[in-house]
Amino acid sequence: MSLKSHFKTLVPGASSSAGSLEVTAPFDGSVIGSVELADAAAVEQALDIAAALHADVSQRLPAWQRISILKKAAGLLTERAEDFALESAREGGKPLIDSRAEVSRAIDGIHCCIETIRTQHGEEIPMGLNPASAHRLAFSSHEPIGPVLAYSAFNHPMNLIIHQVFPAIATGCPVIVKPASDTPLSCFRLVELLHEAGLPPAWCQALAIKDRGLATATVGDRRIAFFTFIGSGKVGWMLRSKLAPGTRCALEHGGAAPVIMDDTADLNLAAPLLAKGAFYHAGQVCVSVQRIFAPSTMIRELADKLAAEAARMKVGDPTLEEVAIGPLIRTKELERVEKWVEEAIAAGAKLHSGGKRFSSTCYGPTILIDPPPACSVSSEEIFGPVVCLYSYEDLEEAIDRANHVPYSFQASVFSQNMDTIFRAYRRLNAKTVMVNDHTAFRVDWMPFAGLRESGLGIGGIPHTISDMQIEKSLIFQSPSL
């Protein structure tokens, strides 16, 4: 089937004079669609609709109806999975094989929302434990927190919408979503799919905002109860400072994921996993493998094995079955990655393999050995297909170096030694530590969080649903209790 390629602002009754946003494929720059841009009047209308909807308790959707809508949405997405995957690959540049996996995850994520509705519940609050609480019975239940505003990122154009928008639907919160300007089509398709599944359009509104001042001002609106942001730390922390008093938020930013290896690590197991974790989606993943610390005696062998894996990963058009590494999202990002690699080499890093453009939009998988700590590739999130190997003589020193960045997200350790594994687990600055696996592993029901400058709050669908609710208590007092 042919999917729709132009979208009007999805705000009931709104019109806009802001023009349209043209969407181009990052691989070849071809125009693949467009989205109407929202002006200030359209944004105001969306906020009014969401606030009024939440304020009218009689309009709230009961749990059985939310479950029914989500079930139908999962069924529709299953029927159209291949079309959604292909269009997502074109729009975001993630290879088709990985875009298919993203669609599969999206379907599973919708089912995870349904399961959480079915299993999440309040609890009895103990009373009668002291004289003051005698003759009382108390319990809690959950209610939607209020209107949700979601600002999303480009790198997982479907799953990030599943993570941010579908939990709001599951909780019964009206939600307004602004997708990344590079990848709005997947978002609008998913929102229209929700409407097709029976969700009244006012409950999920989508709009594209080009005006940064308008986007920033919207975040600070007092009608917003919860703000969810996925994107750069610089933007996310700035937007958090604009929130109105009382607005809750969740932020998910990037990292510079470390891997610790010791001399018992199985390199034949590690190499394909680390190559996938480093070069998947051209490294444009917040928990991509970036910094690998290994004993100096194994650095050369590890680099050779990683290079062999990289050589098997075809670079090019993300819509082709055989391609494993697609383009960077924008030309300026390719130029930045190229500059950072050149800077590291000039500072003394050894270029083991790669280090050059594959085309005007693709950068080849690159392996650097021992770039100095002050280089951008060592101290900042690369967000490109580059991995850095660092040799060490002392494990404690390696862990200290791994922790010497302001980011903390996911990490991993490769070892057959339990003492090394637990040492790394206890000492690494990370929310999650993988053992004998790459840093980019995730399932959508696990807690997923960036700490320090990498984010705020706990992601993962059940945790996001919890964030978008209030737990409200009811306390009875009676002499008969």
Domain identity same for 351 and 374: yes
Q: Is residue 393 part of a domain?
A: yes
Kindly give the pairing relationship between strand 289-295 and strand 257-261: parallel
Q: Tell the residue number behind the tokens 């599973």, with chain if given.
A: 108
Q: Which residue has the tokens 């924008």?
A: 330
CATH of the domain at 305: 3.40.309.10
The per-residue pLDDT string of the chain (481 residues; one tens digit each, 9 = 90 and over) reads 557 788 999 999 988 888 999 999 999 999 999 999 999 999 999 999 999 999 999 999 999 999 999 999 999 999 999 999 999 999 999 999 999 999 999 999 999 999 999 999 999 999 999 999 999 999 999 999 999 999 999 889 999 999 999 999 999 999 999 999 999 999 999 999 999 999 999 999 999 998 999 999 999 999 999 999 999 889 999 999 999 999 999 999 989 999 999 999 999 999 999 999 999 999 999 899 999 999 999 999 999 999 999 999 999 999 999 999 999 999 999 999 999 999 999 999 999 999 999 999 999 999 999 999 999 999 999 999 999 999 999 999 999 999 999 999 999 999 999 999 999 999 999 999 999 999 999 999 988 888 898 889 899 999 999 999 999 999 999 999 8
Name the residues annotated as catalytic.
252, 286
In a domain, 441, yes or no: no
Is residue 405 in some structural domain?
A: yes
The strands making up 469-477's β-sheet, listed across from edge to edge, are 124-125, 136-144, 469-477
CA angle 171-147-409, nearest 5°?
Answer: 70
Residues 225 and 278 in one domain: no
Query: By the 8 A CB rule, do 363 and 316 touch?
Result: no
* Residue 275 and residue 137 share a domain: no
Residue 467 and residue 328 share a domain = no
Residues 137 and 272 in one domain: no
Residues 285 and 248 occupy one common structural domain:
no
CB-CB contact of 142 with 470 (8 Å): yes
Same domain, 182 and 313: no
Residues 70 and 96 in one domain: yes
- Contact yes or no for 34/21 (Cβ under 8 A): yes
pLDDT in the model for residue 112:
97
The residue segments making up the domain with residue 458 are 6-253+454-474
Residue 171 backbone phi and psi in degrees, to 5: -85, -15
Q: Are 381 and 254 in contact (CB under 8 A)?
A: yes
Does 183 map to a domain? yes
Count up the domains in the chain and report the number: 2
**Is the domain of 43 the same as that of 116?**
yes
User: What pLDDT shows up at residue 1?
Assistant: 52
Strands of 377-426, DSSP E: 386-392, 407-408, 410-414
- 127 in the same domain as 160: yes
CA 166 – CA 172 distance, rounded (Å): 10
CATH number, residue 102? 3.40.605.10
Q: Is residue 188 part of a domain?
A: yes
- 287 inside domain: yes
Answer yes or no: do 369 and 388 share one domain: yes
Asked, for residue 481, whether it belongs to a domain, the answer is no
Cα-Cα-Cα-Cα dihedral sign, residues 279, 280, 284, 290: negative
For 329, other C-beta atoms within 10 Å of its C-beta total: 24
Residue 397 lies in a domain: yes
pLDDT of residue 327: 96
pTM of model > 0.85: yes
* Same-domain pairing of 342 and 292: yes
